[in-house]
């Protein structure tokens, strides 16, 4: 199987995550939206750290910046740091049971979120910033089923 053929599960997962990230939600639920792209980048960086790392995360972040109309480079920096932390600790993360892996992923998502707070503070956009902590809680709920489904459907085709 060629390298190009094994890239389709990652591309499919990222396209789904980007779609979920920009899909319209009611205003009351917007703060509770899980960081789908961050969780997807963390998953693939954990699964194949040599192949899907900081560079891919940066490119996906630029795409997310364009889709969301945010400051160019904001999500790119946030995702690159999340990918770096995942790769840095991936050997430990791989052997954790799912509950410990979930806590570690939520810690990485918290760093991702706080970088967003910092950038918004620098630009003066502080509207509803405390409500963004809800995305960390939603990541806690979404990660175990996302990890399970991804391992069953996408990872075998990626040639782990």
Range of the domain at 94: 17-22+32-150
In a domain, 88, yes or no: yes
Report if residue 48 sits inside a domain. Answer: yes
pLDDT at 155 exceeding the cut of 90 = no
The C-alpha atoms of residue 38 and residue 66 are separated, in whole angstroms, by: 16
Q: Is 70 a member of any domain?
A: yes
Residue 147 has pLDDT above 60, yes or no: yes
Residue 5 in any domain: the answer is no
Q: How confident is the model at residue 158 (pLDDT cuts 50, 70, 90)?
A: low
Task: Give residue 1's pLDDT.
Answer: 45
Measured distance CA(60)–CA(17) in Å, rounded: 10
pLDDT tens-digit map of 22-80 = 999 998 898 899 999 999 999 999 999 989 999 999 999 999 999 999 899 999 999 99
Q: What is the pLDDT of residue 8?
A: 87
Average pLDDT, the chain: 90
45: Cβ contacts below 8 Å, ≥ 6 apart: 52, 53, 57, 82, 83, 86, 87, 90
Residues 47 and 102: their CA atoms lie apart, in Å, by 15
Rounded to an integer, what distance in angstroms lies between the CA atom of residue 120 and that of residue 114? 10
The answer to whether position 93 is within a domain reads yes
Mean pLDDT to the nearest integer, 118-140: 84
Q: Predicted confidence band at 84 (pLDDT cuts at 50, 70, 90)?
A: very high
For the residues 69-97, what does the mean pLDDT come to? Answer: 94
Number of domains in the chain: 1
In a domain, 156, yes or no: no
pLDDT attached to residue 131:
80
| pLDDT of 3 higher than 60 | no
Residue 101 lies in a domain: yes
Whether residue 72 contacts residue 59, with contact meaning beta carbons closer than 8 Å, is answered with: no
For residue 56, tell me if it sits in a domain.
Answer: yes
The candidate with the shortest Cα–Cα distance to 83, out of 105, 116, 114, is: 105
Distance from C-alpha of 72 to C-alpha of 9, rounded to nearest angstrom: 27
């Amino acid at each position: 199987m060629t390298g190009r053929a094994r890239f389709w599960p990652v591309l499919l997962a990222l396209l789904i995550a980007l779609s979920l990230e920009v899909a319209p939600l009611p205003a009351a639920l917007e703060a509770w939206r899980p960081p789908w792209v961050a969780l997807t980048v963390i998953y693939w960086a954990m699964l194949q750290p040599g192949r899907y790392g900081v560079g891919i995360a940066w490119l996906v972040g630029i795409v997310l910046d364009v889709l969301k109309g945010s400051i160019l480079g904001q999500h790119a920096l946030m995702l690159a740091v999340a990918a770096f932390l995942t790769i840095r600790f991936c050997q430990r993360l791989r052997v954790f049971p799912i509950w410990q892996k979930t806590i570690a992923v939520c810690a990485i998502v918290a760093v991702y979120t706080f970088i967003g707070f910092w950038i918004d503070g620098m630009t003066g956009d502080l509207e509803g910033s405390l409500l963004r902590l809800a995305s960390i809680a939603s990541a806690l709920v979404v990660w175990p089923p996302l990890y399970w489904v991804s391992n069953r459907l996408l990872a075998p085709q990626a040639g782990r």
